[in-house]
């Protein structure tokens, strides 16, 4: 497979085999926060096509799972790069873990709340005023955000640990989701759903972000830049032709079929690269978005103070 | 009197090849005292276990004739070790058989207390087994065997850990209860004088394999202190001693090893 | 006389409390020293002082959480204790049952809760029932195993004695095997007491209501996601306190049950 | 002679296998019947036939997962077994240590793994090390507790005997207390064998894996996420099989160790 | 000869109020055999445990004079129960003291085997305790006590579970080893004839509380089968029996209860 080993790219695994006389590749590790899925499609595309190798890097992609502490691993230098949430960059910095965002996979946050199509609620506000049972990952800032935005909430919050079974069974009436994932599954099962987007609701962080530690960035800015450039090219290729890469990714994920990946890839396309995004703009982050996030988190009480210099928090590689 | 116990041609061989009993034959009249003597390891305990139904012969038959009365009280055994429940006081250990037979609480405590004082442990009712001396523990076990007033009593060297005077008292206690209840008694002992004193019939056993080599009737009617001092008694003891010495030298009869 | 006895008992109890306290203080000091020396970063390992500060600040939340989780754990423990002792006794009584059911019982403890969480939530609903069920499932096996073990170890001589006394099966169980197995059962219960807390917490991870009154599991989950490591540690310590209380109760009960026994064997 | 012995031993082994198989078949039938009668929905409780079908289809994935998780569980179990027996022995040797450290040891089993996952992953790094550590943490306490328990139950008379023979502390441990505690330790190890599998799986829930290594925990998570309940059940059964193999190995070892003992006390 | 053992004014009261010993005084010359007789529960085992260092007096002193030689072999005790390791064969149980003293393997097996055949268990080396009869187990325990060739030997009713002939053989074995090793022996026994035969000095104890009520020197030089049959011997036995009966009736001297 393409995920393992630090050996130079193998013949047949990509478009551009590395010439043997090339200088030794620099080994770096990238820690995912979930199993291999289309939301990491560009990463696998870059690996498969030898883009990392061409950039002088031997990238080891490490799959994560439900509780993998990628933010801490990245901040402490266990791995060079990790997938974290934008809000994690800010909260961890306050605790002494100086993460820096390098590449935002989703331009628009894919977070949403899904209800059945025939549910009575017309908006998040409606839902929050009801006494419905809602499955949410409490502790994530958006839950605080909703609670603060719609005060006097009566909804009953429960964990998401049952997967979709409780939603399907009707025991929970609303469920936190990635717009590109759970709703698709429900529709494939013949259960029509509606989704309230959180981004539309005013909370739109860079939800899936490749980050590194400030220390590594300071030490090896060039490697970081090379890594991000390869990643950007990988994403460009993946967005153009996900079906070319999905079979290899599916091999690494025991639970997900190629067909499911193809659907998810299609659904996420516009969230990663909204119409009109230039080829060199995928993954680029805006200062204003980070500033808004910092302000929102401060208002929620998740962080005590916004970072003094917002430019320390992220770095758009040239 | 009919026989209460008949053992005929019993053989018992253990897994490791030891033949503990072979061709053992004996019978015990109802209401009489049978004594088993023999060298250590000659199969006395094995035989008693077979009679108590705790072990089964590989060949031959052993039967304890059924008698009237409540089932539980029929056959009583005192093992070579005390086998007391360590968490129960002496009194409650003695009361155990009555408790298991669902006797009324007051009744069983009274009977247990009476039996404990008959074995000389009047003051020790509330002691736990760990607080008793070796001989006291054995006496608790004897009291437990007697408290049900059984019709067949199997005693495996119960008095070995007792001083001679206490032992004489318990000998007389057993004889008295025998007379009262018409009890059949099988007693294993190493004390030749005790064998002579107690036995209506004494069976001398020889080892390798265990078997009866002599059956002997001392023929004493009344037993009392005077008997122990009499020359008749001394003669029987000497005779028995001779038999025992003979049994130890007996040629193994088909035994597998010494 | 009795006054002296009471005061000497108090002194014994105090003396018994010294070693764990000493070790505890040593551990806390070592932890603080480690934080000073290695500076692992607050997001990884906060110092005991920070944790204590956070615990104090969140005392209301933590106390409520401890109460809720403690109830679930205690309920699950009680179910596990009864089921385990009964099932262990039944299994000990029959070779066939033991061979047939013991392996099935081990299955119980090998099912990751998250895999059966949907079933559990559908059966028990959200709320305390799920965490009680989870606590019971997690802690039943040690009780069962140690009951089985203790009973099967009953002195052969005493079993024979009960046979010659024509004791019924129930009598043998109640008057011989159960008292004999008590030391072993108490050990099993001790293990179960600790496990029931973790079982309750894991149950809460999938099936508890989050709100103003959140149990420990929810507090831990939220704190983890907010990177409030001090609060995570404070909540874990709260769970430990709950566990200790349960453990202490079991030990005390066990001590009472064992007292006569030890007096007799020791 | 020896041929007969071998064949009779085979027959005994077969006879021993009958009860669990019978019970297992009964359980599977009951499950199938429940699915037919209650129709709980495939996403909640698939039928055994569906699970078997899925298990067969994913056999390569599951076999690999079983191997990876089995290695972690076995590694963690081995660590827990050694640590538990040693620590239990040390604690049994000293009243002070026992009082001081036993409570601390119980703490270990009350810490939800997810709470210390960051520390664990940062210490152990990614890959199998985290799941081995997790398996060891989860299963060490039962071993410790049962070792302690077994050793403290050593016959007082024999301890006295060793005293009069002026045995050293190590001699007493090795020649008296350890053999005496073996039945109890074996029970603890059995409990630990099952727990180590669940510990490994929970470790996988928080761990990280390079390459295409998907242990059972990952299969369960991704199947849950993808709503493939049959695969979840198939993976859980795979975990159970791994657990049974470990359990069986421990039981067999225990049987060998206990053989002489039982021959003598039974 | 100097005294190997001196006990003076020893008192031992248990937690439950039982006064097992009070004002017990006795001394034993080096190389001699002291015998303790007395009714069951009079404190003989308690006294022996104090001598072995397993229990401590509440008042008074008890001392076993130090002797030359390896420490481990100094004092040896055979308890009232066999106390065998159930998972070790007879041979390995006997070899245990040598093993703990780190003797060479071949040597200790030889010595253990020789001692086992001296106690009449030549064929039973490989049996486990569970496969031995009660008397055989006690003999294994005696062999274990003797195998280190101790300088002080404490025996607590070791021969109670043995037939008289085996018992006589073991009596003679102990006397022979005593002569060979210059061993000091303290023997608790319930058999008056054994007390008379073995004792250089016999101490008669009375219960409630346990104390020595008579010290007695049979004064036999050579012991052999002829001695047992002699009238001298019979007279000593009768005298001892009298003392024992007296001891059982003795007024409790300040004891708390019967
Ligand atoms: N479970 C067993 N396995 C093997 N051999 C055994 C077993 N039980 C007893 N034996 C052997 O059977 C023989 C007879 O034993 P038994 O206990 O009946 O002797 P005994 O006459 O009661 O001796 P003692 O007077 O010493 O109590 C002995 O050689 C003993 O070693
Ligand atoms: N641990 C204990 N707790 C309380 N009382 C005890 C304890 N050990 C012994 N005793 C009591 O002390 C007295 C003497 O006991 P000891 O065992 O010394 O008697 P003994 O002379 O050896 O008797 P025997 O000949 O029956 O073995 C007895 O009354 C006994 O009940
Ligand atoms: Mg016997
Ligand atoms: Mg005694």
CA dihedral E189, E192, E197, E198 (to 10 degrees): 20
Are E36 and E113 within one domain? no
Q: Are residues B183 and B130 in the same domain?
A: no
Is residue B210 domain-resident?
yes
Q: How many domains does chain B have?
A: 2
Q: Are residues B26 and B104 in the same domain?
A: no
pLDDT value, residue C263: 45
Query: Which of B77, B81, B101 is the closest to C164 by Cβ?
Result: B77
Tokens 């897994």, located at residue? B15
- E129 and E214 share one domain: no
- Which pLDDT score is estimated for A223? 92
What was the pLDDT predicted at A12?
Answer: 41
Instruction: Report CB contact under 8 Å: B80, E38.
Output: no
B33 and B140 together in one domain: no
Pocket flag, ligand 2, residue E189 (CB < 6 Å): no
**Residue A3 confidence class, pLDDT cut points 50, 70, 90:** very low
For D224, the domain range is 51-265
Residue C18 forms part of a structural domain: no
Q: pLDDT class for D1, splitting at 50, 70, 90?
A: very low
Q: Could you say which of B54, B100, B130 has the minimum Cβ distance to residue C171?
A: B100
Two structure tokens written together for A247: 């079979």
Give the end of a domain, one of E129, E149, E169: E149
Task: Output the average pLDDT for chain B.
Answer: 86
Cβ within 8 Å, pair E45-B192: no
- Answer yes or no: is B79 within a domain: no
The domain total for chain C is 1
Q: What is the pLDDT of residue D3?
A: 46
Give residue D162's pLDDT: 93
Same domain flag for E91 and E218: no
Give the pLDDT of residue C261. 55
Evaluate whether residue D3 is within a structural domain. Answer: no
Nearest CA in chain D to C235: D115
E214 shares its domain with E100 = no
Task: Answer with the one of B149, B182, B203 that is the final residue of a domain.
Answer: B149
d(CA C2, CA B241): 60
pLDDT digits (tens, 9 = 90+) for D185-224: 988 898 899 889 988 998 888 887 776 678 898 888 888 8
Residues E108 and E188 grouped into a single domain: no
Please list every residue in chain C whose beta carbon sits closer than 8 Å to the beta carbon of residue B48. none
Res. A8: pLDDT tops 50: no
- Report the candidate in B80, B22, B33 with the shortest Cα–Cα distance to residue B178: B33
Residue E216 lies in a domain: yes
Cα angle for residues C185, C188, C194 (degrees, 5° grid)? 140
Q: C-alpha C68: how far from its chain's center? A: 16
Which of A75, A137, A165 comes nearest C118 by C-beta?
Answer: A165
C neighbour chains, 3+ CB pairs within 8 Å: A, B, D
pLDDT at B246: 83
Per-residue model confidence as pLDDT tens digits over B71-110 = 444 789 999 889 999 889 999 999 999 999 888 888 999 9
> C183-240 pLDDT, tens per residue?
889 888 988 998 899 899 989 988 888 877 789 999 998 888 888 888 999 999 999 8
A171, A163 Cβ separation under 8 angstroms: no
Confidence of residue A288 (pLDDT cuts 50, 70, 90): very high
Q: What is the DSSP string of chain C?
A: -HHHHHHHHHHHHHHHHHHHHHHHHHHHHHHHHHHHHH---TTT---HHHHHHHHHHTHHHHHHHHHHHHHHHHHHHHHHHHHHHHHHHHHHH-HHHHHHHHHHHHHHTTS-HHHHHHHHHHHH-SSHHHHHHHHHHHHHHHHHHHHHHHHHTS-HHHHHHHHHTT--HHHHIIIIIHHHHHHHHHHHHHHHHHHHHHHHHHHHHHH--BSSS--HHHHHHHHHHTT-HHHHHHHHHHHHHHHHHHHHHHHHHHHHHHHHHHHHH-
CA nearest ligand 1 atom 22, residue = B45
User: Domain of B124?
Assistant: 84-149
- Above 50 in pLDDT, residue C264? no
pLDDT at E67: 62
Q: Of residues B180 and E67, which shows the higher confidence score?
A: B180
Identify whether the C-beta of residue C200 lies closer than 8 Å to the C-beta of residue C72: yes
Q: Are residues B140 and B154 in the same domain?
A: no
CATH of the domain at B28: 3.40.50.300
Q: Are strands A209-213 and A81-84 parallel, antiparallel or unpaired?
A: antiparallel
- For the stretch E199-229, what's the b/e string if a residue is b when 16 or more beta carbons lie within 10 angstroms of its beta carbon? bbbbbbbbbbbbbbbbebebebeebeeebee
Q: Tell how far the Cα of C179 is from the centroid of ligand 3, in angstroms.
A: 28
ipTM of the complex: 0.85
Higher pLDDT, D229 or C7: D229
Considering only B65-69, B169-173, C113-117, which range has the smallest mean pLDDT? Answer: B65-69
pLDDT of res. A52: 93
Mean pLDDT of C239-250: 88
Q: Which of residues 129-168 of E touch D (CB under 8 A)?
A: 129-131
Residue D15 covered by a domain:
no
E36 close to ligand 2 (CB < 6 Angstrom): no
Rg (CA), chain E: 18
The CATH number assigned to the domain holding C75 equals 1.10.3720.10
- C266 C-alpha to center of ligand 3: Å? 27
Question: pLDDT tens, B41-52?
Answer: 889 999 999 998
Q: Is the CB of E66 under 6 A from ligand 2?
A: no
Mark which of B149, B172, B188 sits at the end of a domain: B149
Is B52's Cβ below 8 Å from some Cβ in C? yes
- Of all protein residues, whose CA lies closest to atom 12 belonging to ligand 1? B20
* Shared-domain flag, residues B120 and B155: no
Are residues B161 and B227 located together in one domain of the fold? yes
- Among A116-120, C6-10, D153-157, E132-136, where is mean pLDDT lowest? C6-10
Q: What is the pLDDT of residues A37-81, one digit of tens each?
A: 999 999 999 999 999 999 999 999 998 888 888 999 999 888 999
Helix axes D48-57, D2-38, angle to 10 degrees: 120
What average pLDDT score do residues A163-184 get? 88
Over residues E205-243, the pLDDT tens digits come to 988 888 888 888 888 878 888 888 888 888 888 888 888
Query: What does the mean pLDDT of chain D come to?
Result: 84
pLDDT at C65: 93
Q: E132 CA to middle of ligand 1, Å?
A: 5
Our answer on whether B and A touch (3+ beta-carbon pairs < 8 Å) is: no
Q: Average pLDDT over chain A, rounded to whole?
A: 87
CA of B135 to the centre of ligand 4 (A): 6
Judge whether C265 is closer than 8 Å to chain D, CB to CB.
yes
Give the closest-approach CA distance of D231 to chain A in angstroms. 8
A257 within 8 A of A92, measured Cβ to Cβ: no
Torsion of CA C174, C175, C177, C179, to 10 degrees: 100
Q: Are residues E122 and E178 in the same domain?
A: no
Please say whether the beta carbons of B46 and B210 come within 8 A: yes
pLDDT per position as a tens digit, E79-117: 988 999 988 999 999 999 999 988 888 899 999 999 999
C12-21, D157-166, E98-107: least confident range:
C12-21
- In a domain? residue E79: no
Average pLDDT score over residue span E132-150: 91
pLDDT at C266 over 50: no
**Closest ligand 1 atom, CA of B80?**
27
Task: Determine the residue among D25, D39, D105, D110 to mutate to test chain C binding: the one whose Cβ has the most chain C Cβ atoms within 10 Å.
Answer: D110
């Amino acid at each position: 497979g393409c995920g393992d080993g630090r050996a130079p790219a193998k013949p047949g695994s990509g478009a551009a085999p590395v010439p043997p006389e090339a200088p030794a590749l620099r080994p770096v590790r990238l820690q995912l926060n979930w199993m291999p899925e289309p939301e990491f499609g560009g990463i696998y595309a870059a690996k498969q096509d030898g883009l990392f190798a061409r950039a002088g890097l031997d990238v080891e992609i490490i799959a994560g799972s439900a509780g993998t502490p990628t933010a801490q691993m990245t901040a402490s230098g266990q791995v060079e790069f990790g997938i974290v949430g934008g809000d994690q960059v800010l909260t961890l910095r306050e605790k002494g873990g100086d993460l820096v965002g390098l590449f935002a996979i989703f331009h628009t946050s894919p977070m949403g709340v899904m209800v059945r199509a025939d549910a009575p609620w017309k908006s998040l506000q409606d839902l929050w005023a009801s006494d419905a049972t809602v499955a949410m990952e409490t502790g994530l800032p958006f839950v605080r955000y909703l609670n603060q935005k719609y005060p006097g909430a009566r909804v009953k919050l429960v964990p998401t640990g049952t997967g979709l079974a409780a939603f399907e069974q009707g025991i929970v009436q609303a469920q936190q989701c990635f717009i590109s994932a759970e709703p698709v599954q429900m529709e494939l099962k013949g259960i029509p759903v509606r989704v309230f987007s959180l981004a539309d609701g005013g909370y739109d962080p860079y939800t899936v972000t490749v980050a590194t530690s400030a220390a590594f960035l300071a030490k090896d800015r060039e490697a970081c830049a090379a890594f991000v450039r390869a990643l950007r090219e990988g994403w460009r290729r993946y967005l153009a032709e996900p079906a070319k890469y999905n079979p290899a990714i599916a091999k690494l994920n025991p639970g997900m079929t190629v067909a499911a990946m193809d659907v998810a890839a299609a659904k996420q396309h516009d969230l990663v690269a909204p119409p009109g995004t230039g080829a060199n703009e995928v993954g680029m982050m805006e200062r204003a978005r980070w500033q808004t996030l910092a302000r929102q988190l401060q208002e929620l009480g998740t962080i005590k103070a916004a970072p003094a210099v917002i430019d320390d928090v992220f770095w758009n590689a040239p | 009197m009919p026989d209460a116990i008949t053992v005929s041609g019993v053989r018992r061989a253990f897994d490791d090849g030891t033949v503990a009993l072979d061709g053992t034959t004996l019978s015990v009249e109802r209401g009489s005292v049978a004594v088993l003597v023999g060298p250590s390891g000659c199969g006395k305990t094995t035989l008693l276990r077979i009679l108590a139904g705790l072990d089964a012969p590989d060949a031959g038959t052993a039967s304890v004739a059924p008698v009237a009365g409540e089932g539980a009280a029929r056959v009583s055994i005192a093992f070579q070790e005390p086998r007391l429940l360590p968490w129960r006081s002496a009194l409650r250990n003695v009361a155990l058989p009555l408790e298991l037979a669902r006797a009324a609480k007051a009744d069983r405590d009274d009977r247990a207390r009476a039996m404990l004082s008959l074995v000389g442990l009047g003051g020790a009712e509330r002691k736990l087994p760990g607080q008793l001396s070796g001989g006291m523990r054995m006496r608790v076990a004897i009291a437990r065997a007697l408290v049900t007033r059984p019709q067949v009593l199997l005693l495996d060297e119960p008095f070995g850990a007792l001083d001679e005077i206490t032992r004489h008292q318990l000998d007389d206690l057993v004889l008295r209860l025998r007379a009262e209840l018409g009890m059949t008694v099988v007693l294993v002992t190493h004390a030749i004088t005790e064998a002579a004193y107690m036995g209506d019939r004494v069976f001398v056993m020889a080892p390798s394999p265990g078997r009866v080599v002599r059956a002997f009737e001392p023929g004493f009617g009344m037993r009392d202190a005077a008997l122990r001092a009499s020359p008749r008694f001394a003669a029987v003891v000497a005779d028995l001693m001779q038999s025992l010495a003979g049994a130890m030298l007996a040629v193994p009869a088909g035994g597998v090893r010494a | 006389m009795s006054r002296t006895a009471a005061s000497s008992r108090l002194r014994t109890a105090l003396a018994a409390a010294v070693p764990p306290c000493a070790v505890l203080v040593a551990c806390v000091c070592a932890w603080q020293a480690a934080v000073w020396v290695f500076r692992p970063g607050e997001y990884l390992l906060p110092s005991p002082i920070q944790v204590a500060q956070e615990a104090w600040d969140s005392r209301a939340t933590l106390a409520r959480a401890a109460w809720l989780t403690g109830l679930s754990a205690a309920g699950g423990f009680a179910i596990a204790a009864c089921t385990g002792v009964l099932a262990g006794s039944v299994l000990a009584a029959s070779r066939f049952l033991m061979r047939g059911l013991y392996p099935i019982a081990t299955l119980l403890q090998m099912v990751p809760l998250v895999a059966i969480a949907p079933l559990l939530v559908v059966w028990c609903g959200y709320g305390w029932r799920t965490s009680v069920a989870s606590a019971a499932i997690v802690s039943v096996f040690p009780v069962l195993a140690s009951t089985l073990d203790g009973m099967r170890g009953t002195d052969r001589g005493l079993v024979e004695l009960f046979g010659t006394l024509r004791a019924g099966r129930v009598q043998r169980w109640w008057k011989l095997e159960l008292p004999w197995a008590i030391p072993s059962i108490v050990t099993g219960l001790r293990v179960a007491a600790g496990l029931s807390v973790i079982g309750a917490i894991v149950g809460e991870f999938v099936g508890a209501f989050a709100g103003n009154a959140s149990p420990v599991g929810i507090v831990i989950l939220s704190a983890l996601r907010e990177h409030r490591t001090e609060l995570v540690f404070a909540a874990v310590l709260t769970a430990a306190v709950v566990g200790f209380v349960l453990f202490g109760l079991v030990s005390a009960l066990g001590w009472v049950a064992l007292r006569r026994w030890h007096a007799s064997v020791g």
